[in-house]
Every structure is written in structure tokens, then in C-alpha cells.
Structure 1
């Protein structure tokens, strides 16, 4: 299967990288709307479907504290992928020596070529930035290349009543049904839950978290 071409041309991809680097370089860790001191419900969902030896990739993980919590719960095989070198640098600095056990990946999910399979694909709010079909197709191609048969994908997006933009960029909102349609065949729906995220300044954002299981190898 050939990787689909993305709508984003090199200049657009570079603009994305510069945007997110500038965001993380100019704001404090708790100065962005998506900051969570405790990464829920992500952590609980991962604990439902994974064990300490599971290979987990946190897509668009940025400077999220999910990796810290996974390490505290003795998950041994964790990768964090983000487009922003500044975000990855912030997380590595925070974890210090513990960060040496993490596989840090600076890459655009639309063009990343994974070199291994993962048991859990976790994405809190990266997919909803794929507003163009070509970008969604590229993301889903990477998902299929990276997720092991019988592996789980946890994908969180703004819900249908959530914000229309994040960090000044448009997003595509979903519920469980529309997200299942976007993923297409080969992913069995497991469960979904609604989550009201409170930003550091007290406003609320409506999310949906949906879990899918990839079909086993034939």
C-alpha cells in the first residue's frame, strides 16, 4: 500500500512546525488550553487495555504529562511523538534521567514512517487538526502502519459541541459514530466517553474519547 499524498505542501508543513514550536516556546506549560496536571481520562483508558509491557505511542504528545504518569505506573515501552521540537525538549527536560527510557520522536504524523508496531496508539487532540481529507488519509495510513493487529487506538477529539478552533487553527469535531466512519473498516468500536476538559483559566471544552480495536491479522 502506497502512502497517500497529503494536501500539506513542504511550506505548509514547515508553517505547522513553526506554529507549534512558537506556541511551546512562548507559553508556560500551564499556559496552553490543553494542559492537564492529571492526564485523565487517557490514563484510565490505557490502564483498561494495556499492561506494563505494552508498547504505547502517544501521538501529538507534546509536553503532556501522560508519559510521566505512565512511567510512574511502570509502563516500560513508551514513545512520544510530536511535530514540535520545543514540546519534546520541554518534556525531556522535565523528566530528566527518567526521560532516557522514553523513545522521543520529532515527526509530522502525516509523513512519519514507523519502524515498529505498537499495542496502543494514544492521540489526545491531534487527529481533529486533520481538517483536509488528504491529511486524514495520511494520518490513517500511518495509524495502520504503526498499530499492531489486535492493538487499540484511543483517539480523543473535540466533541460535536466542542470548540471549532484550537490554538488559532480550525478543527474537525466528532462523535463516536463519525469517528468510526472516518477510521473505516478494520477498526472495531470498543467504547466511548464524554469528557469536559477545564482549561487552566477555568473555561470548559467538550471532548469525546473513543477506543477502537484493530482487526486481528488474517
Structure 2
């Protein structure tokens, strides 16, 4: 798969965001990834499974999973700046995570994962071709019977984030785009409060791959 169009521009954009703001000031900051962890628990995800966090940036899911004893963790982001903040925060524990600076739309993981988690990327893919690329990588990277947790802006969420347009999803729309290959375990709504006190509604989906 060739490098996806606009990769360099996306990397520069997110580099600039993280150079301007530390992790606790970005709108998506949460001190504890409670929804992510709850949905992983509902899918029966335990420390023996491999997890890739798509659009990890400086988010704290890796911290939470390391604390639970997970040993096969991969963090991916188009920009390394946010992940650098996470590595500094984790200190020596950063060596227990595989850090990948890549555009998920053209990523070649070279392996399969048991769990795919994404709270940060999918709603930024506003073009059908980009969504198709993402879903193709997901299909190739996820093991048979693998689990997926995806969070996106809800239908009444903001139309833009960090200066970029976003796609918004109802639970039914998110289920539809994932397709029949997956058995949906749960959809739910989160009203995330940003560090500035603004409420941003999210739609969450947890699913298992059928084969």
C-alpha cells in the first residue's frame, strides 16, 4: 500500500498541536481512559492479548494497560510529538511499549493484533477513500476473532476538532460502516468534558470479529 495522500501534512499538523499544548491541555485529554477500559473489559480483553492503540498520541490508555500487566502493546500515531510526551511520562516503562510513527491509512504492521483500539483517528477521516484505506488496514491487522473498540464524535458532537473537519456518527452509522464481519457487543454514548469545560458527545462501539 502506497503512502496515503496528505500524510506529511497530517504529521505536521499534529506535531504543531503537541508542540503548542501539553497532554493535559488538548481537548481530548482524560486523566483516566474509563470508557476504553470498560469496553475492553466487556470484550473480555486480558493481559495475554496484544493491543494496538490507533492515534495514541499522549493518551493514557497505555499507562492503564501496563498497570494491568499487559505485555504486548503498540502505540501508533502519525505524529511522534504526542507519543514523545507519553514516553517521557512513562519513563523506563516506555520501553515496554512499541511506538510507531505512521499514518494508519498506509500502515504495514507486519503482524496481527488481538485488539484494535481507536479513540482519536476514525472521525478525522471525512473522505470515503480514507475510510476505505483505514478499514482495509484494520481487516489485515486484526486476528480472527479479534476485538475492536472505536470512539468517534457523536451525531451532535462538534463539526471540527483541532482546526480540522470531522465526521460524526450515530451508533447505527458506526455499526454500519464497520460492516457485517463484526458482531457488535455494545454501543454507548459518552459526554466527554474537555479541560476547558466544554462537553463533547462521543459514540462508542465494541465488537468482535466473526472470523
Q: Are positions 1:40 and 2:38 aligned together?
A: no
Conserved 8 A contact 2:56-2:120: no
Aligned partner of 1:20 among 14, 22, 27: 14
Which whole-Å deviations, capped at 9, do the CAs of 1:56-100 have from their partners, x for residues lacking one? 000001000110111111111111100111111111111111110
Aligned partner of 1:160 among 134, 151, 155: 155
Query: Counterpart in 2 of 1:214?
Result: 209
1:184 offset after TM fit, Å? 2.0
Conserved 8 A contact 2:49-2:72: yes
1:142 offset after TM fit, Å? 0.5
- Distance, in Å, in 2 between the alignment partners of 1:159 and 1:40 is 18
- Distance, in Å, in 1 between the alignment partners of 2:65 and 2:29 is 17
Q: Are positions 1:81 and 2:76 aligned together?
A: yes
Aligned partner of 1:30 among 19, 24, 29: 24
Query: Counterpart in 2 of 1:205?
Result: 200
Q: Where in structure 2 are there 5+ consecutive unaligned residues?
A: none
Superposition RMSD in Å:
1.3
Q: Which runs of 4+ in 1 moved over 4 A?
A: none
Aligned pairs for 1:141-160 (under 5 A) are: 141-160=136-155
SS state of the match for residue 121, structure 1? strand
- Distance, in Å, in 2 between the alignment partners of 1:36 and 1:100 is 23
Aligned pairs for 1:151-190 (under 5 A) are: 151-190=146-185
Q: Where in structure 1 are there 5+ consecutive unaligned residues?
A: none
Aligned pairs for 1:16-165 (under 5 A) are: 16-49=10-43, 50-165=45-160
Conserved 8 A contact 1:125-1:158: no
- Distance, in Å, in 1 between the alignment partners of 2:120 and 2:23 is 17
Which whole-Å deviations, capped at 9, do the CAs of 1:17-69 have from their partners, x for residues lacking one? 10000000111211110001111200111122201111000000100011011
Which whole-Å deviations, capped at 9, do the CAs of 1:83-133 have from their partners, x for residues lacking one? 111111111111111110101111000000111111110000310001000
- Distance, in Å, in 2 between the alignment partners of 1:100 and 1:57 is 15
Aligned partner of 2:186 among 186, 191, 194: 191
- Distance, in Å, in 1 between the alignment partners of 2:24 and 2:189 is 23
